[in-house]
């Protein structure tokens, strides 16, 4: 049981650390934000308008959103966007979206050891 909880915790940590990269010449990017429970539809609409984003997916039960830039951005611009969003009231976490591969139990234990 302890191993399963440990593996589940590690998997969750990897899922929250998205690993996409915007190319230097720029491309559209998707970010994941986690918001507090008082964050409203009006709040997310305001954020999208302010930063020129669109809602790609609403993870309603998790209080999270996937947001995509409306224009191409460079890596530096994406970093700045993440920093700016992180400073907004009601936004708890901002990560670049990406693909993550789940580890099997043995790999998860090895990651904890390393």
- Domain spanning 20-98: which superfamily? Peptidase S8 propeptide/proteinase inhibitor I9 (3.30.70.80)
Write down the pLDDT at residue 10. 52
Q: Whose CA is closest to 55, among 33, 37, 22?
A: 33
Six token digits for residue 87: 């400073």
CB 97 within 8 A of CB 18: yes
Q: Whose CA is closest to 95, among 66, 61, 75, 70?
A: 66
Per-domain residue ranges of the chain: 20-98
Q: What is the pTM of this model?
A: 0.64
Residue-wise pLDDT for 58-112, tens only, equals 998 899 999 999 888 898 999 999 999 999 999 999 998 876 667 677 776 777 7
Residue-wise pLDDT for 3-15, tens only, equals 555 455 555 555 5
């Amino acid at each position: 049981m302890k191993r399963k909880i440990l593996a589940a915790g590690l998997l969750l940590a990897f899922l929250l650390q998205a690993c996409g990269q915007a190319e230097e010449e720029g491309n559209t990017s998707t970010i994941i934000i986690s918001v507090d429970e008082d964050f409203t539809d009006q709040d997310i609409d305001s954020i999208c308008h302010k930063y020129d984003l669109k809602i790609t997916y609403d993870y309603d039960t998790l209080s999270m959103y996937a947001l995509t830039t409306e224009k191409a951005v460079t890596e530096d611009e994406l970093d700045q966007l993440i920093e700016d969003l992180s400073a907004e009231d009601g936004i708890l976490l901002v990560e670049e979206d990406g693909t993550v591969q789940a580890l099997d139990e043995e790999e998860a234990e090895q990651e904890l050891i390393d």
